[in-house]
Amino acid sequence: MKQLQEAAKNTLEHLKQLQVENRRWIGELSPSALSTATAICALAIVDAKQHSASIARGAQWLANNVNEDGGWGDTPLSLSNISTTCLVWAAFCAAKQEENYPELMANAEKWITHHAGGISMENIATAIRKKYGKDKTFAIPILTMCTLSGRFGKDRKLWRRIMQLPFELAALPHQFFSFLQLPVVSYALPALIAIGQVRHHLCATRNPITYVLRRLTVNKTLSKLRDIQPTTGGYLEAIPLTSFVAMSLASYLSPKHPGYKVVEEGVRFLVESLREDGSWPIDINLTVWGTTLTINAAAISHESFADFPNKDNTLEWILQLQQKNIHPFTNALPGGWAWIDLSGGVPDADDTPGALIALANLAPENKQVISAAQNGVVWLLDLQNRDGGIPTFCRGWGALPFDRSTPDLTAHTLSAWSKWYPHVDNAVQKRIQIAMKKALRYLEKNWRNGWIPLWFGNEHAPRQENPVYGTARVLIALLDVKIYNVDKLIAQAKDYLLRAQNANGGWGGDCEVVPSIEETALALHALAKLGCISSDNETQKAIRDGEAWLLQATKNGTHFPVTPIGLYYASLWYYELLYPIVFSLGAWQQIREYRKAKH
């Protein structure tokens, strides 16, 4: 117990040191080879001379962070993959950096040839389409960048091999989008417009009716693109999305065209987000997410949370960030929270529950907080899909996997509803009762020997999924549900987590996967929370063994190596420096509560 107390204290003190502005946690996202490649390609296409220093720094970082096999993964700790390797290969061509790194490029071409059968457009297009299936959100931007870079030559006929994105549909009112079965996901409207337009301008359709329709909507959709561009210049504060938009528009628009303002603002964002080491991350930060994770982990132990620093400042900051107006990007109603405190953030169904739970931990009896929380609760109620699950951004966009309901968000929402159920109006309570019933039915139907999350995975697990993360998150949420009997689902979750534990006491993303601090901490958190109300000998042993593994791996809460289990927009791997720290704190705090309950 003494060692556990010491680890919890060390971890808590470490987190306190990471607080910025006496109110929030910014964390640090992993550097991204994919983001760095797209950024230097965009800068090269816009003005290679003006941005030569940034381009050279990015190219050097990519050269320094190539994998031993000659390819690139999404992070320096990730396995090489076809998307990132092809984008880096294309970026070096666009930026005219090939002659500076001949061996690097030769090895990259060997890697691509080995995995795609060659470096022709046909080979690469086939490999990319195989990876992404019918979801064109990343497939078409990747092929567009490779073509714009000049890697496949200058023949305009090449564009016929890239699917035309129907940018003209963006001229319709947003209410139509969920019915249109678009080939890209809900957050990718800027890519739909910009990449659709570059394909149209460089290789227009031969259908005269469609051609006229597209010509008539060019300026209207460009205006829409400008209208939804955040004040920072970065769409979703995301480097890849902003880069794809900037390079596409810059390849055919005159700098004098009104629509070119989108390019200028996007480039400003890219230049400002370049890191000192020459890399770009996938997004600026996840400060709202990191802050609410920290608060909610610390609050598990009322004893240690009592003197947690600057809670009033954090409370005020979270309240300020609740969306007060209809969001221009997704047309989301007021009430939700985004992952970041910048204008490019979009309210979503992971950060909103996280913020609601944090408010419940900080000031559940405060009238202003209750009012804000009720608005957030209703926002989530309105987002729920017909199947009972919770999607990320928009209700009813179910054509592609990213936009469907997902267990991790559904679980997080269940926790938020449960926390605020006693405090909201009777009418909202009745809505919560109905919604929770549907959500539990969704979880029951979507059990797949574990629950599979959308926003987290594991490169070393089957299908690169992470049922340990998903099941732990769902179990934590189920233990918050008080108004329905969820014993069967709890038993399923417990049995899976016990099975998935490795012989050394740690957990990876699935059975027999190399353990990580993040996954072990979450599994421990879930089992220890269950242990507070019911624990058998097998569960008690699992907690003891897991605790021993985590204490050793973190060197008693002083050492937190990261693992890239995060999935940014369900497609790009990342790690976040806060995750192993915060998840470990959650585990230590919950085990302490479990020990108290046993005595």
Tell me which of 270-274, 293-297, 482-486 is least confident.
482-486
Q: Are residues 276 and 309 in the same domain?
A: no
Query: Of 535, 537, 505, which is closest to residue 519 (Cα–Cα)?
Result: 505
**Cβ proximity of 163 and 213 under 8 Å:** no
- Name the phi and psi angles at 568, rounded to 5: -80, 120
Domain CATH code at residue 136? 1.50.10.20
Residue with tokens 């689902």: 489
Other beta carbons within 10 Å of 593: 18
Tell me the C-alpha to C-alpha distance, in Å, between residue 306 and each of 10, 206, 299, 365: 17, 69, 8, 16
Give one DSSP letter per residue of 490-513, joined into a string. Answer: HHHHHHHHHHH--TTS---SSTT-
pLDDT at 49 over 80: yes
Stated as kind and residue range, the H or E segment containing 280 is strand 280-281
Q: At which of 258, 281, 304 does a domain end?
A: 281
**Residue 304 confidence (pLDDT):** 86
Mean pLDDT of the chain: 94
DSSP code of 566?
E
Q: Are residues 239 and 314 in the same domain?
A: no
> Binning pLDDT at 50, 70 and 90, where does residue 134 land?
confident
**Residue 136 confidence (pLDDT):** 78
Q: Are residues 452 and 441 in the same domain?
A: yes
Q: Are residues 366 and 415 in the same domain?
A: yes
pLDDT at 174 over 70: no
> Binning pLDDT at 50, 70 and 90, where does residue 330 land?
confident
Other beta carbons within 10 Å of 543: 24
Q: Are residues 265 and 307 in the same domain?
A: no
Q: Are residues 348 and 467 in the same domain?
A: yes
**Residue 395 confidence (pLDDT):** 83
Q: Are residues 153 and 261 in the same domain?
A: yes
Please give the tally of structural domains in the chain. 2
For CA atoms 66, 68, 70, 74, the dihedral sign is negative
List beta partners, residue 24: 20
List beta partners, residue 283: 238
Paired sense of beta strands 280-281 and 566-568, if any: unpaired
- Provide the 3-class DSSP secondary structure of residue 567: strand
CA gap 520, 522 in Å, rounded: 6
pLDDT at 178 over 60: no
Q: Are residues 16 and 92 in the same domain?
A: no
pLDDT tens digits, one per residue of 508-542 = 999 999 999 999 999 999 999 999 998 899 999 99
**Residue 529 confidence (pLDDT):** 98
pLDDT tens digits, one per residue of 339-381 = 999 999 999 999 999 999 999 999 999 999 999 999 999 999 9
Residue 446's Cβ-side half-sphere holds a number of Cα atoms within 13 Å equal to 25
DSSP code of 120?
S
**Residue 522 confidence (pLDDT):** 99
CA gap 334, 449 in Å, rounded: 37
Name, in order, each residue with C-beta under 8 angstroms of 550's C-beta and a sequence gap of 6 or more: 7, 506, 517, 520, 521, 524, 584, 587
Residue with tokens 């419940």: 360
| Two structure tokens written together for 210 | 């469609």
- Over residues 458-485, mean pLDDT: 97
Q: Are residues 314 and 455 in the same domain?
A: yes
- Provide the 3-class DSSP secondary structure of residue 146: helix
- Over residues 12-31, mean pLDDT: 97
Q: At which of 223, 249, 281 does a domain end?
A: 281
Q: At which of 232, 248, 281 does a domain end?
A: 281
Residue with tokens 């002659």: 99
Tell me the C-alpha to C-alpha distance, in Å, between residue 395 and each of 379, 387, 418: 11, 11, 21
Q: Are residues 242 and 298 in the same domain?
A: no
Q: Are residues 393 and 275 in the same domain?
A: no
Q: Which residues form the domain of 226?
A: 31-281
- Over residues 384-396, mean pLDDT: 91
Q: Are residues 311 and 217 in the same domain?
A: no
